[in-house]
Chains A and B, each alone.
Chain A
Amino acid sequence: MLRKLFSFNGGVKPDPNKGASTREPIARLPLPPQLIIPLHQHIGGTPRPLVKVGDRVLHGQRIGAADGNVSSAVHAPTSGHVVAIEPRLMPHASGLSSMAVVIEPDGQDQRIEREPFDWHAASPGEVRDYLRDAGVVGLGGAVFPSHLKLAPGKAGGTDTLVLNGAECEPFITCDDMLMRSEAEDILRGALVMQKMLAAKQVLVGVEDNKPEAAAALKAAAAALAHASLDVVVVPTRYPAGGAKQLIRVLTGIEVPHGSRSTDYGVQCFNVATALAVWNALEHGEPLTRRIVTVAGNVDRPRNFDVAIGTPIGFVFEHAGLKPDTDKLIMGGPMMGIPLPGVDAPVVKATNCLLASSPALFPPPEPELPCIRCGECARACPADLQPFELYWHSRARNFGRAQEYHLFDCIECGCCAYVCPSHIPLVDYYRYAKSEIWARERDKDAADSARERFEFRNWRAEREKEEKAAKLAARSAAKPAAKPAATDKPPAEGDTAATPAEDPKKALIEAAMARAKAQKEAVAAKNTDTLTPAQQAQVEAAEARRKLAADMVATGDGETTRATATADKPTE
């Protein structure tokens, strides 16, 4: 069947460099002396540790429970003892540490008793919970908890499930090798996802530089004989493996930044995620291992089946790290992150470990002035004008950078790749984004500080008014109190409170109105030219702020007023 393919603008064609690591099949890496399993390996809440130091854990045992729904569990990849639960170095450019469970394998690899889970009979909600507790997250690199994406969209059904096997980054071949060897189970996993999403069709996108993988998938699809399943070969062009770029190529839909593809009836998963879903549901295997490409400046580039938590240095030892390596990268050469050290572990996001040498990835040449040649704009898959973003970021003119859609940048690196002036363009965007985030944090902090201050002033004012009102009420009530002395004492409080209540209320309301007017007067006015999406965000933030202010004003005000009136009789 010939399918009409669409294309996205821009993109580049770097040398794929995929030959070296695909010569040999995937090898299972032995267990290291120590496994460092970070609790937080996905987008969302950090799981709570379920074990303590000294515990013996079994292979497949949950060691971190999902914290809420936007989270995902983590598991022990083998049996052994927990020797530490402490912050450890993470595979992240920042060099920061994060809480990790350190396990010393005992070599027995004793498995946890598998609880049978009849996913055929289970409700979609139960399947999602099961996947959350099996720690299945997106294995393409973004590690978004998969169960969250496996619900039909608002419209009730998803039109298309896209399986991403494009793998466009140079050097990375883990998905390629997985598609070659596990094509059938990948597609079975996809069919389960299709059922959960109630999707009409499943499209598997594979770049045309992976003919073996495409052939394996096509054969598997033929064996499964599923009419709605189609393996589509797409042209090789970086970043065709970006979810939104692949969705564009396969369906023609352009999902804007800030929107979810589900809103457009499309959901996209990496092929390895589909396999993880299948393994979790069919075999009860939580996600404890993944395929990692080790490539670049190593003697034996290859794909390894690695236990999550294996220190990166241990993986590189097996591939034979060459001595002139100058840095280690997690991910590909276009979007990979520099690793802070060999002690950081392999995590669920680790698709590739790349050793760099000055010969392989020479340090960038000195930055020259931008000549506005427009190469970056021609290469940009998001149709941005990167050099304009660069000028504005460089000039710290962040408002203008946002007007030029800074936040639509996917940091794919195409612009910097083609820049004849060797400007590290993406670094400028990262800088601008982080500055904007920092300013927003500062603004939020300033806003809440101002709200606290205004409330404090309002309360001080109110207390003063109350005191004056109380004094006035007491002096007015004194002559009347004597004849009424034989009556029940509470009545005095009641009668005294009623006249005092009204001016008090009016004063409170006036103070609140003043505070509100003041707040409106100082509200940020840099929100004139906003896209609908930004407008919506702003409104949402305003609504939250208003809610908080209302809670402060009504809830807290009520209680203080109540205590004030309740105090009265005892006076």
Chain B
Amino acid sequence: MYNSPYLRQNTSVRRVMTTVLVAMLPAIAVQSWLFGAALLVQIALASVTALACEALMLALRGRPVAPALTDMSALVTAWLIAVCLPPLLPWWTTVLGTAFALIIGKHLYGGLGQNPFNPAMLAYALLIVSFPALMSQWPGLNVGDFATQMDWVFGGARALDGVTGATPLDALRTGLMTGGDAAAVMRSTAFGHIAGAGWEWVALAWGAGGLLLLALRIITWHVPVAFVAVMSLVSGIASLIDPAQFAGPAFHLLAGGAMMGAFFIATDPVSGATTPRGKLVFAAGIALIAWLIRAFGAYPDGIAFAVLLMNICVPLIDMKTQPPVFGHKNGGAP
């Protein structure tokens, strides 16, 4: 005997997660088209590792393995990790990061729905802190054929500075540190139209996937809008004050993980804020912290740390932003 409601909408966690995976496809396609197929290999590596760790942890925790393995949530984490990492990373780094995300970031907190931190961002943070040199080896446009890339990933061969181009954020930071002018640095070869050769297309593809998630009601507008608004605002103000030192909004939105963060990372329901106003606060905080790290910090990109820092604030944000309950606003007057 079960109780009402007897009707259920045709929906499931698997359907939600699969939609997220589908929405990631444009960015993955654009990135592997422009920078080589190594990304696809990294995605495969991360997926296999994630599913293996998920199954292992579920078995250790004495939980049913099949339903959790097929809910696709581990794959979403794996894909998000893979697209964050430089595609030429040695295979064991990806495996290590993914295993850390699934075992420590997810299951040690109680599994799906219980993790306070975004597992993909935990993996990124672990790897960039542990292997900063490896993590800065991003390939330039069409660097090396597939065989060469595979040799970098699986063989002992290491990419040389000549073949791995600096990402725009990295180049900007290095240029500014060596006494350059932001506008001058951004005219160098590493930069494409706005944010770096090829990268603005990847960012736009993330945006397109994000719009798909919005259209399918997987995410709400609050997080991306607040993120983009605050990132534009702070970078706009800073570049107005000192254009030589700070890049403008267009660069900050299209460089690095900004668009991916706005639509795919900060919108993670499990580790993010849940109330409408809370989502605005949460995303605004991420944008602000990310910009601070980019402008003043030691790391080229700051999305991951910004997300993790704001993850800590989520319980408080949620508690303080509870929407008014029906009949408890304006004393019931219309």
Contact = CB atoms under 8 A, between A and B. Distances in A.
Interface of A: 6, 8-9, 12, 14, 93, 170, 244, 248, 251-257, 259, 264, 327, 329, 331, 333-338, 356, 361-366, 368-375, 377-378, 381-385, 387-388, 404-405, 408, 411, 413, 416-422, 424, 426-427, 430, 531
A362 B5 CA distance: 11
6 contacts: A93-B3, A248-B326, A253-B332, A364-B2, A375-B11, A408-B327
B160 interface: no
A361 B324 CA distance: 34
Nearest to A9: B326
A333 B334 CA distance: 31
Contact of B269 (A253, A372, A422): A372
Given A334-B4, A336-B6, A385 B274 contact: yes
A369 B111 contact: yes
Contacts of B11: 375, 418-420
A6 B333 CA distance: 12
B189 interface: no
A335 B327 contact: no
The B interface, classified by DSSP as helix, strand, loop or mixed, is loop
B307 to A, nearest CB: 16
Contact of B326 (A329, A365, A369, A383): A383
A374 B329 contact: no
Given A336-B4, A363-B2, A424-B3, 4 more contacts: A12-B9, A335-B5, A361-B7, A417-B8
Nearest to B218: A373
B16 interface: yes
Contacts of B329: 254
The A interface, classified by DSSP as helix, strand, loop or mixed, is loop
A334 B5 CA distance: 4
Interface string B102-115: 00000000011110
A368 B327 contact: no
Contacts of B114: 369
Nearest to B271: A372
Contacts of A170: 7
A387 B274 contact: yes
B7 A383 contact: no
A421 B5 contact: no
A371 B269 contact: yes
B325 A405 contact: yes
A333 B2 contact: no
A456 B33 CA distance: 88
A374 B269 contact: yes
Contacts of A418: 9, 11
Contact of A329 (B6, B112, B220, B269): B6
Contacts of B1: 327, 338
Given A254-B329, A356-B6, A385 B322 contact: yes
Given A253-B332, A254-B329, A368 B274 contact: no
Contacts of A248: 326
Given A244-B327, A253-B332, A383-B323, A373 B3 contact: no
Contacts of A361: 6-7
A416 B11 CA distance: 11
A255 B332 contact: yes
Given A366-B67, A372-B113, A374-B269, A333 B274 contact: no
Contacts of B274: 372, 374, 377, 385, 387-388
A257 B334 contact: no
Nearest to A391: B113
Contacts of B322: 385, 404
Interface string B3-28: 11111110111011000000000000
Nearest to A17: B7
B112 A368 contact: yes
A413 B5 CA distance: 5
A374 B318 CA distance: 12
A506 B71 CA distance: 74
A268 B315 CA distance: 40
A417 B9 contact: yes
A256 B328 contact: yes
B326 A364 contact: no
A340 to B, nearest CB: 9
Contact of A256 (B6, B111, B326): B326
Contacts of A14: 7, 9
B326 A259 contact: no
A253 B4 contact: no
B99 to A, nearest CB: 21
B69 to A, nearest CB: 12
Contacts of B216: none
A370 B113 contact: yes
Contacts of A6: 334
A371 B113 contact: yes
B32 interface: no
B7 A369 contact: no
B239 interface: no
What 5 A-B pairs come out closest when comparing CB atoms?
A: A252-B334, A256-B327, A413-B5, A369-B113, A361-B6
Contacts of B7: 14, 170, 333-334, 361, 413, 417
Contacts of A364: 2, 8
Contacts of B325: 256, 382-384, 405, 408
B3 A8 contact: no
B275 interface: yes
Contacts of A259: 327, 332
B327 A424 contact: no
A448 to B, nearest CB: 33
A337 B270 CA distance: 33
Contacts of B67: 366, 368
A370 B112 CA distance: 8
Contacts of B5: 333-335, 413, 416-417, 426
A333 B220 CA distance: 29
Nearest to B67: A366
Interface in B62-76: 67, 71, 73
A8 to B, nearest CB: 7
Contacts of A370: 113
A426 B333 contact: no
A255 B326 CA distance: 8
A427 B3 contact: yes
A312 B1 CA distance: 19
Most buried by A among B327, B328, B334: B327
A264 B332 contact: yes
A90 to B, nearest CB: 16
B85 to A, nearest CB: 24
Interface in B301-325: 318, 322-325
Contacts of A12: 9
Most buried by A among B5, B112, B274: B5
B3 A430 contact: yes
Contacts of B13: 368, 371, 420-421
A160 to B, nearest CB: 12
Contacts of B73: 371
A369 B328 CA distance: 30
B319 to A, nearest CB: 9
Nearest to B71: A368
Nearest to A387: B274
